[in-house]
Amino acid sequence: MGGVAVLTGAGSGIGRHVARALLEDGYRVALAGRRADALAETAAGAPEALVHAADVADPAQVSALFEAVTARWGRVDVLFNNAGTFGPAGDPDEIPVEAWQQTVAVNLTGAFLCAREAFRIMKHQDPRGGRIINNGSISAHTPRPGSAAYTATKHAITGLTKSLSLDGRAYDIACGQIDIGNAATEMTAGIARGARQADGRELPEPTFDVRHVAEAVRYMAALPLTANVQFMTVTATKMPFIGRG
């Protein structure tokens, strides 16, 4: 039987595909997200899945999630920090402070809270160690117009990844990041119809099958703790990323 994996944002899109890939590989998988019905749909027919509704921005709910995982399986081997929101769009002066704070709460604080709990468990479990994989974004490298909140949080995820990677060395905790550009999911459906470019035009952008993201995360998760994919970028080949702007 595989290790124990915790996935956030597991009710749809990338999270759902990664969860199913890991379940196929024999992992015992805890599915976290805000909608229990969507999580149950992801887990359908999988006896080694634990459905646990939780808001990653709430420290108490995150603690309860990891308590449920260790109560059932006793350890955590992989955390995929995937939950996120695009947040508000517009020029910086048009973004409500409350919307900024909510984006930071989900995309950054939520990732930290989950990593914090996983790190604590991995540090003390026997055998020691584990792997944290953060879902960054192309916006961890280069912004889209009108995306200050989302882009700031995704740049911050890169800093979190590096810090976790460094601080985890002493405890056999590896941390890497996957940056995804235009995987075809419900969240990115609008991009295929038209996305605002740096010159102000709205143009449809190519997408790629989200299953390739699941395969990439599956590879990262399966590595021995003596090896790590620090950063991986997976995009639609013709996505306007290289040379954006």
| Active-site residue set | 150
- CA–CA distance from 94 to each of 89, 97, 195, 204, 242 (Å)? 8, 9, 19, 25, 28
- Quote the crossing angle between the two packed helices 97-104 and 148-168, to the nearest 10°: 30
* Residue pair 57/34 in contact by the 8 Å Cβ criterion: no
Instruction: Mark 120-129 as b/e (b = at least 16 C-beta within 10 Å).
Output: ebbbebeeee
CA-angle at 62, arms to 61 and 64, nearest 5°: 65
The torsion angles phi and psi of 183, rounded to 5 degrees, stand at -65, 140
- CA–CA distance from 75 to each of 98, 161, 244 (Å)? 36, 21, 42
DSSP of 205-218 = ---EETHHHHHHHH
CA-nearest of 48, 81, 33 to 220 is 81
